[in-house]
Amino acid sequence: MGRGKDRRDLALRLALTVLAVAATGTVHARVDTTARIGQGESFVPRPDRARMLALGFDSVVADYYWLLAVQLVGGAAGGDGVPTDQLGRLIDVVTTIDPWVDHPYRFAALWLTDDEENVRRANRLLRRGIAYHPADWRNRYHLGFNHFFYLEDNQRAADWLETSIPLDGSPRYLGPLVARLRSERGGLETAAAFLRELARNADDGYARAEYEKSLDEIQVERAARYLDAARDEYGRRFGRDISRVEDLLGGASPVLPFLPPAHPHLEGWKWILDDESGEIVSSFYGSRYRLHAHPTDLQRRERWRALRAATSDGDR
């Protein structure tokens, strides 16, 4: 009796397996597995239609389009460049059919960066990823990075990055980065208050140390701004600029009685004039407390600003 039942169960499982294989073949046939990258953009279906044709085999069909996306990028390695509009539509299909996928969201964030429209498309995909993977800090990080690095929206970048700080695995530098972003609009006090709160609530001693180091840098920036004001006063009094920071202490009517420390805890560091910018900087840090961008990135931002302005003028 038991053996007969086992045979029937085995036969049923085999039948279900055959049915699943056949159904999978049907799904692939419906989504046109003969399509090739060389056919151009027209082969990418609408996301809602692709999901309907999946017939419940969401992972199978999503994997199919995901492989097409990877092939698209790989095939562009020859030098023609990635057709990003096509790639964006493929990732949209993948994440619509199976929004629980993981890597495709960040894949889009890395590749859809050639113009502002594609960055915003990547951001929409990342927000979908956050909705289905709320505990993963990486999608939030990429979304915040896009807002800062490409779209120049520092406050929104700070908002998204801040939500990733308490999540498991997030890097310790995110807190200090958010503080810098906040300082661009809210000033040093806003950044310092944010960092003090992070340090007070930090369970990780290494993270707390990172926050405290950033607070030290803010303190040095306050001192540098104090020296900036003294430098302006020096120019008004003597009609010339300083050649070294110590000039603020010299003359019959010195502007300052002494220089503040160039680091709040470490001795031996001094105030210098930066060779390129001419700014007063601490020799410990070598730069001021602000967000820095590479000249290439600044040029790209200028192009996108000009394009936005031209588009806006054309709409009037």
- Specify if 195 maps to a domain: no
Tell me what the mean pLDDT of segment 19-48 comes to. Answer: 54
- Out of 52-61, 149-158, 288-297, the most confident range is 149-158
- Specify if 65 maps to a domain: yes
- Specify if 236 maps to a domain: no
Question: What are 181-187's contacts with CB under 8 Å, separation 24+?
Answer: 181/148, 181/154, 181/155, 181/157, 181/291, 182/155, 182/158, 183/218, 183/289, 183/290, 184/154, 184/290, 184/291, 185/154, 185/155
- Specify if 126 maps to a domain: yes
How confident is residue 261, by pLDDT bands cut at 50, 70 and 90?
very high
Amino acid at 207: A
- Specify if 5 maps to a domain: no
pLDDT digits (tens, 9 = 90+) for 152-183: 899 999 999 999 999 999 999 999 999 999 99
How confident is residue 3, by pLDDT bands cut at 50, 70 and 90?
low
- Check whether 13 has a pLDDT greater than 60: no
Bridge partners, 271 (sequence order): 282
54, 27 Cβ separation under 8 angstroms? yes
- Specify if 151 maps to a domain: no
Give the distance between the most distant pair of CA atoms in the chain.
Answer: 112
Q: Which residues, other chains included, contact 111 with Cβ-Cβ below 8 Å and sequence gap of 6+?
A: 73, 82, 84, 87
Q: What percent of the chain has pLDDT over 70?
A: 84
Helix (H, G, I), strand (E, B) or coil at 281: strand
Tell me what the mean pLDDT of segment 105-112 comes to. Answer: 94
> What was the pLDDT predicted at 312?
65
Tell me what the mean pLDDT of segment 19-47 comes to. Answer: 53
- Specify if 202 maps to a domain: no
Q: What is the extent of the structural domain holding 66?
A: 24-133
* Mean of the per-residue pLDDT values of the chain: 84
> What was the pLDDT predicted at 152?
87
Tell me what the mean pLDDT of segment 46-72 comes to. Answer: 84
Domain count, the chain: 1
Rounded to an integer, what distance in angstroms lies between the CA atom of residue 232 and that of residue 235?
5
Question: What's this model's pTM, rounded to 2 decimal places?
Answer: 0.74
pLDDT digits (tens, 9 = 90+) for 228-241: 999 999 999 999 99
> What was the pLDDT predicted at 17?
39
- Check whether 135 has a pLDDT greater than 50: yes
Q: Which one is predicted more confidently, 222 or 37?
A: 222
Helix (H, G, I), strand (E, B) or coil at 225: helix
Q: Which one is predicted more confidently, 189 or 22?
A: 189
- Specify if 277 maps to a domain: no
72, 86 Cβ separation under 8 angstroms? yes
> What was the pLDDT predicted at 5?
56
